[in-house]
Amino acid sequence: MEFFLQLVLNGLMVGALYTLIAMGFVLIYKASEVINFAQGEQVMIGGYVALMMLSSVRLPLPLAILVTMGLMALLGFVVERGILRPLTGYPVVSVIMATIGLAAILRGVAPWVWSAEVRGFPAIVPSTPFRVLGVPLAPINLASAALALLCMGVLGYFFQRTRFGIAMRAVSDDPRAAAAMGIDLRAILALAWAIAGMVSALGGVIWGRILGVDPYLAIVGLKVFPVVILGGLDSIMGAVVGGFLMGVLENLAAGYIDPLVGGGAKDVVPFMVLIVALMVRPYGLFGREIIERV
C-alpha cells in the first residue's frame, strides 16, 4: 500500500511539472487553433534566460523569475508578430510547420549563444525531502505543484473575469463573430503568445532545476504532448487534470508493469490509455465538443 501511495504521490508531483508546460500549449491553441511544436524549446530558452539572470546579471531569485517571465513574454510577442502574423490566412499546416521551424531554430540558437554544456540551477527551495505518510516528497516537486495550481487559478480568473480573457474566449469560440464585435484578433493572438511565453518561463525554471539547463531540456515538450491531447487541447482545466492523470498513470505503469515486462511500460501505457480515451471522447476529457453538420 505504501508503494502504491508513493507511486500516486510521485505521479501527482511529476504531473504538476507536465501541467506547467501543457498550459502553454493550451493557451496558443485556444487563441489560434495552432499546436505550438516549439513549446518545449521555449521552456528551454526560459531556463537559459532565468539562469543568465541569476548567474550573470545576479538578480535575486524572485526578480530573476519575474524578469524572465517578462522577456519570455516579449519573445512570444515577437514570434507572433514576426512569424505567425505574416502567415495569417494561410492553411493551418503552414503555421504548424512554422512552429516546427521555430523549434529547430531555438534548438540551434541556444548552444550557439549559451554553449551546450549542462548548467545547474541554484537551489530554489531546500533539497532535503520530508515525509508525508511515510512517503518522501521533494520540496521542488511540491513547489512546482503549487505553482501549477497557482497558474491555473490565475489563468482561470483571467479567462472568466477580465476583459482580455473574455475576449480571448470569444475569439476562440468564433473569430469572425468576435472580430465583428470589435475585438482585435491580432492583439488577442499576441497576448496569448506572450502569456504562453510567461508560462514557459516558469516551466524552464522548474524543469531546469530538476534536469539541468542544456539544449536537450526541450525534450520535456514532447512528454507533454499527450497530456494536452488527453485533457483537451482548448482547456486549461484539461491541461491540469491531464497532467496529473498522465503523471499518475506513468508511475503506476512503471511501478507495477515494468518489473513484469522488463521496462518500457511507463512510456507505452499512457499512450494506450490516451488512444482509448480519444476513442470515447475525441476532443479530450475537458475539450470543447464541436458538433458540425456535414
Partner 1 sequence: MKRLLVGSCVVVAVVALVVSVGVSQGKVLKIGNFCDRLGPTQTVGVKYCPGFHDYMDLINSRGGIEGYKIEHNEVEHGYAVPKAVEGYNKFKAEGYLAVVSYGTPITDALKTFANRDKISLLTPGFGISDVEDATKFPYVFVGVASYKSQVAAIYQYIKEAWKENRAAKIAYLFYDNPAGRDPLDYVRELPKKLGNMELVGEVACPPPCAEASSQMLQIQRLNPDFVISHLFGKGPALTVGERAKLGMKATMISLVWGFSEDEVNVNGPAAEGYMGVNFVVMPEDLAKLPVAKDIADMYKKGGKEPPKEMNSIYYVRGIMNAALFTEAAKHAIKAAGGSAVTGEHFKKGMESIKDFTGEGTIAPTTITATNHAGSRKVRLYKVQGGKFVLVKDWFEGPHL
* Residue 221 touches partner 1, criterion: CB under 8 A: no
Nearest approach in angstroms of CB 138 to partner 1 is 4
* Residue 267 touches partner 1, criterion: CB under 8 A: yes
Closest CB to partner 1 among residues 117, 184: 117
**Binding footprint of partner 1, residue count (CB under 8 A):** 45
Among 170, 219, 237, 273, binds partner 1 (CB under 8 A): 219
Among 151, 155, 250, 287, binds partner 1 (CB under 8 A): 250
Among 197, 203, 215, 226, binds partner 1 (CB under 8 A): 215
* Residue 142 touches partner 1, criterion: CB under 8 A: no
**Of the listed pieces 47-55, 148-156, 159-167, 204-212, which binds partner 1 according to CB under 8 A?**
204-212
Closest CB to partner 1 among residues 72, 246: 246
Comparing CA positions, the residue from 32, 71, 112, 35 lying closest to residue 204 is: 71
* Residue 273 touches partner 1, criterion: CB under 8 A: no
Tell me which amino acid residue 28 is.
I
* Residue 136 touches partner 1, criterion: CB under 8 A: yes
* Residue 266 touches partner 1, criterion: CB under 8 A: yes
* Residue 41 touches partner 1, criterion: CB under 8 A: no
Among 32, 172, 235, 251, binds partner 1 (CB under 8 A): 251
Among 190, 223, 234, 238, binds partner 1 (CB under 8 A): 223
Among 94, 263, 275, 282, binds partner 1 (CB under 8 A): 263
DSSP codes of every residue in the chain: -HHHHHHHHHHHHHHHHHHHHHHHHHHHHHHHS---TTHHHHHHHHHHHHHHHHHTS---HHHHHHHHHHHHHHHHHHHIIIIIGGGTTS-HHHHHHHHHHHHHHHHHHHHHHH-SS-BPPPPSS----EEETTEEE-HHHHHHHHHHHHHHHHHHHHHHHSHHHHHHHHHHH-HHHHHHTT--HHHHHHHHHHHHHHHHHHHHHHHHHHH-BSGGGGGHHHHHHHHHHHH-TT-HHHHHHHHHHHHHHHHHIIIIIHHHHTS-HHHHHHHHHHHHHHHH-TT-SSS-------
The cell numbers describing 188, all together, are: 488577442
* Residue 129 touches partner 1, criterion: CB under 8 A: yes
* Residue 127 touches partner 1, criterion: CB under 8 A: yes
Which residues partner with 131 through β-bridges? 136
Terminal-to-terminal C-alpha distance of the chain: 51
User: Binding residues for partner 1, per CB under 8 A?
Assistant: 3, 6-7, 10-11, 13-14, 107, 111, 115-123, 127-129, 136, 138, 140-141, 210-212, 214-216, 219-220, 223, 250-251, 254-255, 258-259, 262-264, 266-267
